[in-house]
Chain A
Amino acid sequence: MTVLGVSDGITANYASNFPYLTSAEFSEACVSFLPRLHGSGITSRPLPSTEKDLYDGIEITTLREYGDIRVTSKAFILLSPIYSLPVLYFSSEYTSLHTGESTPITLVEDVYKYVITNPSQISLLSEPTMPSVSGSGAISQCEHPLYHGLLCFYIHPCHTGEVMNTLNEDPEVPDITLHSYLPLWIGFVGATVGIAIRG
C-alpha cells in the first residue's frame, strides 16, 4: 500500500499497515466518517481523545420502531488495542410502545431477536475459531471498554481484517483509503444495529 505523505502536516491517505490502523489513522478515518452518520433514526458524535485534535472513536445512537416496539441502541466504534482494528460495541434496549416499559437486552439470542436487521450479514462475520468450538457466534457480551461497570456486546474483530483484505484485493473495489475504510467496514458490521450510511 502506498502511503501518500507521512507526518509533519500532510496526513497519510492510506493505512500504513492495512488492514491494521494506528490511533492517528483511525482518528482520521473517524473524522471523515462522522458526517455520513446522520439520518433518520441515527445520531452520532465524536469521542475526543486526551490527545489534542484526535478522536478515540465515534458514539452512535440508533432508534428503530417496528411492530409494537422501539429498539434503541448505543454503539461505539473504537480501535481495539489488541487487534489494531475497529470494533463495534453496542448496548440495546427495547421499549413497548403500549406500556412505555423498557427492557435492557442482555442475551445474545435477544440481540438476534430484536436488534439484528440483517441476519444473513452476521453469518459473514462468524468467527474462524478453535476447532473444538463449533458455531461460535460473531457477537459476545462483554464489559464496556469505556464505562467501567457497564455491560454491552461486541462484534468479534479478528475476522474483520480478513474481510477488509478480501475487499481490498477485489479488482472491482478501488484501493481502500482512510476515507473509505469505515464506510466499507460499517457495511458488513453496522447491519447489527441498523447502521447504514447515505450514498
Chain B
Amino acid sequence: MSSSPSIAPSDLRRKVWDGVIPLQIILAPDECRILDSVEPFYINAARVSYFPQYFGRITAYFKNSLRDAEASLSSEWWLDFEGVPLRWNWPIGLLYDLLTGLDPTQADNPDHDWHLPWTLMLHHSQYPSDTLLRIASAGAVKEHWVNRVKEADFIRRGNANAVMSLSKTDSDEMWLGVEEHDFDKFWGITKKLLPSDPYALRHIPIKIYLPSSNKMLQALVPPSISPREFHTVGTALHAHLPQLFPSRRTSLLARPVLHGVLLSMAIPLAELLYECMYTDGYLHICIIMIS
C-alpha cells in the first residue's frame, strides 16, 4: 500500500466509501395492489451501507402500489436475489460480491454477467424468520452495527475502551456518518479509534466469506508474524484457509475479493484495514474460486 504509485491511502478510503452498486428493486407480485402497474425502483446503493438504510426510500416509492397500505409503516421488509433472502446485517457490497460470484478477472470478458443493475425483489409478508435476523425496530441496523464496532475495537486493542470512551457527540456523529453516508462524519471520529501505527494493533478484525456455502469464518490475525515480518493477505489466508490457499504468495485455487477488487496476496493486512475497512471496523473479504 505504502508503495502504491497511483493512489494515496487517504484517496483509497474515499474510493472505498464512494463505491456503489446500482440496484433495480422490483415489488413482489403478492405485495402489489394491481399487478404490472408499477415500475421498478432504481437506486445506487453504497457498498459499505446496509439494505435497511434504503427501505424508507424504497417503500416510499412503492407506497401507493402496496396491497397492504399499513406495510409502509413497518421496518421489517426483506429482499431476495434469485429466490434467496438477503441477510440485511451484511454490508451491501459484500452481499453483491459474494452472491453474484463477482470475478474481477472477467473485466475484459464481454460475455460475463455482472448482474448490473442488481435486480432484487422486495417483500413484506412472510418474513423468513428462520433465515433472516428480525428487524424489531427502525433501530435494528444501528444496534447491529454498534455491536460489531465494539467487537472490532476489542479485537484491535484487547479492550473496547476506545469506543466506550467516545463522547456522546462523537458517538452520535460516527453513527450519523453511517446513516447519512457522510465520509467526513464517519472518518472524523473513526480516526480517533485507530492508533497512528497500524502495527501497534493486537489483532486485525477480519471476516472471511466462503463461496457457495457463504459460511463466514472469523479469523484473529495479528499485524505481524514476527518482529521483521508483517502479515499479508496471502500469509493470513494461508494460515486460516490452507486448503484454499496452499501458497502464501500466489492464488492457486481461490482469490480474495474486497469491495469488488481482487486483492493482491502481497498487501500488508494492517494497512489494508486502515484504508479499506467497512464502517463496522472489519475487513469483510469474500473468496471466489478460480474456475
Number of contact residues on A: which range applies? 20 to 34
Q: Mark A102-118, 1 if CB is under 8 A from B, else 0.
A: 00101111000000000
Inter-chain contact A128/B146, CB cutoff 8 Å: no
Partner of A130, one of B130, B151, B171: B171
Max count, chain A CB within 10 A of own CB: residue among B132, B150, B160, B175: B150
For window 152-209 of chain B, which residues contact chain A by CB distance below 8 Å? 154-155, 160, 163-164, 166-168, 171-172, 174-175
Inter-chain contact B163/A130, CB cutoff 8 Å: yes
Report if B20 contacts A (CB, 8 A): no
Give the distance in Å from the alpha carbon of A98 to the alpha carbon of B47 in the complex.
Answer: 49
Inter-chain contact B160/A108, CB cutoff 8 Å: no
A130 surroundings in chain B (CB, below 8 A): 146, 149-150, 163-164, 166, 171
Partner of B167, one of A82, A131, A133: A131
Main secondary structure of the interface of A (DSSP, over half): loop
Inter-chain contact A132/B218, CB cutoff 8 Å: no
A83 surroundings in chain B (CB, below 8 A): 154
Inter-chain contact A141/B133, CB cutoff 8 Å: yes
Give the distance in Å from the alpha carbon of A40 to the alpha carbon of B126 in the complex.
Answer: 37
Partner of A82, one of B151, B175, B215: B151
Inter-chain contact B149/A151, CB cutoff 8 Å: no
Inter-chain contact B131/A158, CB cutoff 8 Å: no
For window 73-93 of chain A, which residues contact chain B by CB distance below 8 Å? 81-83
B144 surroundings in chain A (CB, below 8 A): 140
Give the distance in Å from the alpha carbon of A109 to the alpha carbon of B213 in the complex.
Answer: 31
B131 surroundings in chain A (CB, below 8 A): 149, 151
A141 surroundings in chain B (CB, below 8 A): 133-134
Inter-chain contact B143/A104, CB cutoff 8 Å: no
Report if B125 contacts A (CB, 8 A): no
Report if B147 contacts A (CB, 8 A): yes
A129 surroundings in chain B (CB, below 8 A): 146, 150, 164
A136 surroundings in chain B (CB, below 8 A): 143, 146
- CB of B115 to closest CB in A, whole Å: 23
The residue on B at minimum CB distance from A130 is: B171
Inter-chain contact B154/A140, CB cutoff 8 Å: no
Report if B63 contacts A (CB, 8 A): no
B149 surroundings in chain A (CB, below 8 A): 130
For window 133-170 of chain A, which residues contact chain B by CB distance below 8 Å? 133, 136, 140-143, 148-149, 151, 156, 158
A140 surroundings in chain B (CB, below 8 A): 143-144, 147
B226 surroundings in chain A (CB, below 8 A): none
Inter-chain contact A109/B136, CB cutoff 8 Å: yes
A133 surroundings in chain B (CB, below 8 A): 142-143, 146, 171
Inter-chain contact B171/A104, CB cutoff 8 Å: no
Inter-chain contact B129/A106, CB cutoff 8 Å: yes
Q: Mark B109-147, 1 if CB is under 8 A from A, else 0.
A: 000000000000000000001111110100000111011
Q: Mark A49-78, 1 if CB is under 8 A from B, else 0.
A: 000000000000000000000000000000
- CB of B165 to closest CB in A, whole Å: 9
B134 surroundings in chain A (CB, below 8 A): 106-107, 141
B218 surroundings in chain A (CB, below 8 A): 81-82
For the complex with contacts A83-B154, A133-B146, A136-B143, 18 further pairs of A-B residues with Cβ separation under 8 Å are: A81-B220, A82-B218, A82-B220, A106-B129, A109-B136, A129-B164, A130-B164, A131-B168, A131-B172, A132-B171, A132-B174, A133-B142, A133-B171, A140-B144, A140-B147, A142-B133, A149-B131, A151-B130
What are the 5 A-B residue pairs with the smallest beta carbon separation, nearest first? A132-B171, A131-B168, A132-B172, A106-B129, A131-B171
